[in-house]
Amino acid sequence: MDKACRTAKPAERGSVEPAALDFSCRDCGVYRLCAPLGLESADMALLERIVRRKNIYRRGEFLFHAGQAFDFVYALRSGSVKSFVSTDDGRIQITGLHVAGELLGLGAMGPQSYTCSAVALEPTSACRIAVDRLEDVAAQVPGIHREMVSIMSEQIVRDEELMLLLGKRSAEERLAAFLMGLSNRFAQRHLSPTRFQVSMSRSDIGNYLGLAEETVCRLLARFQEQGLVSVHRRLIELNDRERLHQLASGHGKA
């Protein structure tokens, strides 16, 4: 996506630039863990104790690998990240697409080692939160654990939705749901819900949705023929969210 952007006019894409997705520490996932501390901008001392300075990751760079010892929780400030698990014979399944403002890695709390891998899809900036320090602080402030429980249960809800999608939806429904999901997430972040860059390749999208890369292409082409979307490489414009929503809900042919 980084490359694709370079040819587009700045004005058109201002709203979807990584820069526009950059969140301050207050806005990003870290804050959700800080809020129960009663921390406001004044008390940054405690925050400093647990948050390591932000790191920059390049496209393709790993934030962490599955199996690796669990040392940090990651809060995305800009960019996007895919997480995935793999079979022992090498096939992988992307289990999550994470964008700015979200927390990553909490699933490792139990096993104490990462259960999935995470890779930046584009230049990405993330705060690393040292878990040992987090635990120290959390021992004094129970609200933090409570918040972690809450964040993890949100993860479970998203996972359940993806299972429903993988198990029970047609290819068409999957792609429509994917696009609508992205649209809604961008809207939450006050970005355009109708015009955005998809940071994943067709191959990744296919993997994520349990489809072949070619199927994704063909469906995008069909959606475009039907006037539902306009596709220019990874820039996607939703022209008929209403109908797309129907497709995603399975009311496509009914």
Partner DNA sequence: CGACGGTTTGAGCACCTTCAAGGAATGTGG
Partner DNA sequence: CCACATTCCTTGAAGGTGCTCAAACCGTCG
Q: Positive or negative CA dihedral for 148, 132, 127, 95?
A: negative
**Minimum CB–partner distance for residue 177 and DNA (Å):** 12
Residue 242 has a CB neighbour count (10 Å cut-off) of 9
Nearest by Cα to 169 from 253, 71, 238, 82? 253
**Minimum CB–partner distance for residue 151 and a second copy (Å):** 7
**Closer residue to a second copy (CB): 21 or 216:** 216
User: Is residue 185 within 8 Å of 192, Cβ to Cβ?
Assistant: no
Decide if residue 95 touches a second copy (CB under 8 A). Answer: yes
User: Is residue 92 within 8 Å of 125, Cβ to Cβ?
Assistant: no
Contacts with DNA by CB under 7 A: the residue count is 27
**Closer residue to DNA (CB): 191 or 211:** 211
Q: Whose structure tokens read 């990744």?
A: 204
Burial class (CB in 10 A: 0-12, 13-18, 19+), 250: middle
Q: In sequence order, which residues have a C-beta less than 8 Å from that of residue 164 and are 6 or more positions away?
A: none
- 98 forms beta bridges with 81
**Minimum CB–partner distance for residue 1 and DNA (Å):** 4
Mark residues 205-234: x for contact with a second copy by CB under 8 A, - for none: --x-xx------------------------
Region from 34-42, 106-114, 166-174, 185-193 binding DNA, contact rule CB under 7 A: 166-174
Q: Applying CB under 7 A, which residues contact DNA?
A: 1-4, 6-7, 170-172, 201-203, 206, 210-218, 220-221, 231, 233-234
Residue ranges in contact with a second copy by CB under 8 A: 85-89, 91-93, 95, 106-111, 115-116, 138-139, 142, 145-146, 148-157, 159-164, 166-169, 207, 209-210, 249-251, 254
